[in-house]
Amino acid sequence: MKTREDLRNIAIVAHVDHGKTTLLDEMLKQSGIFRAGQVVAERVMDSGDLERERGITILSKNTSIHYGNVKINVIDTPGHADFGGEVERVLKMVDGVLLLVDAAEGPMPQTRFVLQKALELGHKVIVVVNKIDKPDARIYQVVDEVLELLIDLNADDSQLDSPVLFCSGRNGTASLSEDGPFEDLSPLFKTIVEHIDPPAAPEGELQLLVSSIDYNDYVGRICIGKIERGRVEKNQEVLVCDYHGNHPPRRAKVVNLYSIEGLERQAVEEASAGDIVCLSGIPDITIGDTVCSVEAPEPLPFVKISEPTVEMTFSVNNSPFAGREGKFVTSRHLGDRLRRELLRDVSLRVAPTDTTEAFRVSGRGEMHLSILIENMRREGYEFGVGAPRVLTREIDGVVCEPFEEVVCDLPQDYVGPVMEKLGSRKGELLDMNPVGSRVRLRYLVPSRGMFGYRSEFLTDTRGEGVMSAVFDSYRPQQGEIQRRPTGSLIAYEAGEAVTYGLFNAQQRGALFITPGTQVYEGMIVGESPKPEDLVVNVCKRKHITNTRAAGSDDALRLTPAKRMSLEACIEFISEDEMIEVTPKSLRLRKAVLSNSQRAKMLHRKD
C-alpha cells in the first residue's frame, strides 16, 4: 500500500494546563507561519472569547506546519474532561499523538483518559515532558510515571518504546536529553517526522469520515475530516452515507474544498488520501457521516462517544423581568439554538419535556453545560436553568450512578479538611502520595457529590490546591448526599433594594446584591447560614418622622456583596431553585416565586 511520505497527521493531547496551546504557538512561530515582525496574540489557537478569558481550550483546532519537505497537520485538543468528546472524535483523523506531561505535576486523570483513547486506536506516541524549567520539576520521576501509565493501559511494545523529549513550550526549546542542548524545537519536529507513520494512501473510490463541523454565515456548514481513501475534487458529485443507517444515502456536491495551511484555510482544486480537508456546500451533513463516491458508497464506522452524565433543564424565562434584556426569549428560539448546538457538539443531548416551554439538556459535566449557557447568553438569549442532576442507569437490575476519579494536589496542612469533606460526599480514598512538598490524594467520588464542591475546595486550601476529575464508571447508587448545608435569603416583595432593608437582611446571612438592584418576590438575594430558607424584605425603607431624616441611612455600613459567577450560581442552586440567565444579568430565584405558595407546599410536605 502506498503511503504519503510528504505528510504527517498528529494530535497534541494532555491534561488541562500542561501547555499544549503554548507549545503549539512556538511550533507555528519556528516553522515560519508568521511573517517577520508580525504581532501575534498569545495562545493563538484559543480563538474563542471564552477560551481566552478562561485560559482553556474548548474546541479542537486544526493547523499545519512545514518541516523540510514534510507537511505536519496538527490538532490542538481540549484538556478538560468535560470536552472529552472533542478529543475522542478528532483522534480518528490522526496517526499519532504528542503526549504532553507537566514536569512537576506528572500524569493526571485526563492524561490517562486521552492516552487510553489514543492507545485503543493503535496510535504511536511521542512523550513530551513539558515545563522542565519549573523550579519544582521532577523530570526523572515523571518519565517513570508515564512509563508506568503506558504499562497500566496495556500499551504494545512499539508504544512502550515511545521516544521521550524534554521541552519548555514557553521558551520554544526541546532536546532528546534532559541536560540539553536546548536551542529550538528542531528535535521535536525531527522526532515527529521519523517516529510517526506517514498516512496510508490506498487507491480506490473516495471515503472521507466527517470528524468535526464548523459553520460560516456565507457558505453554511463546513465539514472537516481526513480522506481515508481515494481523492476528492472541487464540484465533485458525492454520496453522504451513515454507517449506522440513521439516514439513507443522499447525493450532494462539494462546492468548496479547502486545505489547512498554518492558521488559514486555502482553497484547493483537489486532495488525496491522507489529507485533512474542509468541505462546504453539503447541507445537513453531520459528525460521523461518510462522504463517498457515487460509484462505490462504503460508509466508515464512527468512534462511539462516551455518554453524558449530567443534565440540566433549560426553560423559557417566566420571571417578572422576562423579556427586558434578551433578544431571543421564546421556546422556539431556545429549541432552535439547542438543536444547532447538537450539530457541532457530539457529547450533548437535548430531549423534550412534558411541556413545550422546557428542554432537558445533557452533557459531560457542569463546565460543559456552563460553557453552552455562557455562549447563548452572549448571543442574546434569555432563559431559565435548573439545578444539575446526574443521569442514572440500571445495570443488572441495580440503579447505578456516575463516579469520578478525583485527584487533589495540595499542601500538607490542608489534607484534613479536604479528606473530611470528600468523605462526607461518599468519596472513597484510593491512594495518598507525597509529591515534593505537597500531597496528592486520589479519590473515587459520586458525580453528584462533586456538585458545589470546587469553591469549597479552594476555600479549604486557601487557593493553593489543584483539583481535577474525570469520569470513571457507573457504580451502585450511594445514599443521601447533602447538596448544600445552607439556606437562601429570599426577597419578600418586588421593588428596589435599599440600604436600610439590606442592612437588616445582612444580619441574617451573606448578601448577593447591592443597593439599587431591582428585585422581585421569590428572587434569591443572599445565603443563610442555617439550612432553612428565610424571607427578607430588602426593599424596606425607614419611616420618616419629625425626628428622623431620610438621609440618616448614610450611616449604615453594608458588608460587600458576594459576586456570583455563572459557575458559582450553578454550584449554589438547590433542586427547587433556578438561575435566570440574560445577556446582562444572572439572577438566582426559586422555581415557585410566590412566598405564600411555597409555605403551603412546605406545610403539606410536613
In this predicted structure, which of 233-237, 517-521, 588-592 has the lowest mean pLDDT? 233-237
Q: What pLDDT digit, counting tens, does each position of 391-433 carry?
A: 888 888 888 888 888 888 888 888 888 888 888 888 888 888 8
Characterize the bridge pairing of strands 164-168 and 577-581. unpaired
CB 176 within 8 A of CB 190: no
- Residue 240 bridge partners (DSSP): 250, 291
CB 83 within 8 A of CB 58: yes
DSSP summary character for residue 204:
S
Cβ-in-10-Å burial (0-12, 13-18, 19+) of 482 comes to exposed
Q: What pLDDT digit, counting tens, does each position of 65-112 carry?
A: 888 888 888 887 765 554 555 676 778 788 888 888 888 888 876 777
* Whole-number Å distance between alpha carbons of 9 and 95: 6
* Whole-number Å distance between alpha carbons of 264 and 490: 52
How many Cα neighbours within 13 Å face the side chain of 307? 10
Residue type, 248: P
- Site of grid cell 462504503: 298
Q: What mean pLDDT value characterizes the chain? A: 80
Q: How far is CA 454 from CA 97, 303, 467, 579, 588, in A?
A: 31, 32, 8, 19, 19
Compute CA 425 distance to the chain's CA centroid, rounded to the nearest angstrom.
23
| Grid cell digits, residue 489 | 435569603
What is the share, in percent, of the chain residues with pLDDT greater than 70?
Answer: 88
CB 79 within 8 A of CB 57: yes
CB 360 within 8 A of CB 350: yes
* Whole-number Å distance between alpha carbons of 189 and 24: 12
* Whole-number Å distance between alpha carbons of 182 and 172: 9
Residue type, 516: G
Q: Is the dihedral of CA 487, 493, 499, 500 positive or negative?
A: negative
Q: How confident is the model at residue 359 (pLDDT cuts 50, 70, 90)?
A: very high
Q: Is the peptide bond before 181 cis (omega within 30 degrees of 0)?
A: yes
CB 310 within 8 A of CB 372: no
| Radius of gyration, alpha carbons of the chain | 27
Most confidently modeled range among 31-35, 91-95, 251-255, 508-512: 508-512
CB 390 within 8 A of CB 446: yes
606 contact partners, CB below 8 Å, separation of at least 6: none
CB 508 within 8 A of CB 536: yes
CB 310 within 8 A of CB 388: yes
Residue type, 318: N
Cβ-in-10-Å burial (0-12, 13-18, 19+) of 70 comes to middle
* Whole-number Å distance between alpha carbons of 274 and 9: 8
Q: What pLDDT digit, counting tens, does each position of 212-244 carry?
A: 777 666 777 788 888 888 888 888 888 888 777
| Grid cell digits, residue 581 | 440567565
Q: What pLDDT digit, counting tens, does each position of 185-203 carry?
A: 888 888 888 888 888 777 7
Q: How many CB atoms lie within 10 A of CB 432?
A: 13
Q: How far is CA 408 from CA 98, 414, 435, 459, 567, in A?
A: 25, 11, 11, 14, 20
Answer whether residue 60 shows pLDDT above 70.
no
Q: Please give the domain boundaries of the chain with CATH numbers for all domains.
A: 7-195 (3.40.50.300), 207-293 (2.40.30.10), 393-476 (3.30.70.240), 487-605 (2.40.50.250)
Q: What pLDDT digit, counting tens, does each position of 307-317 carry?
A: 788 889 999 99
Q: Measured at the alpha carbon of residue 138, what is the angle toward residues 437 and 456, in degrees to the nearest 5?
A: 45
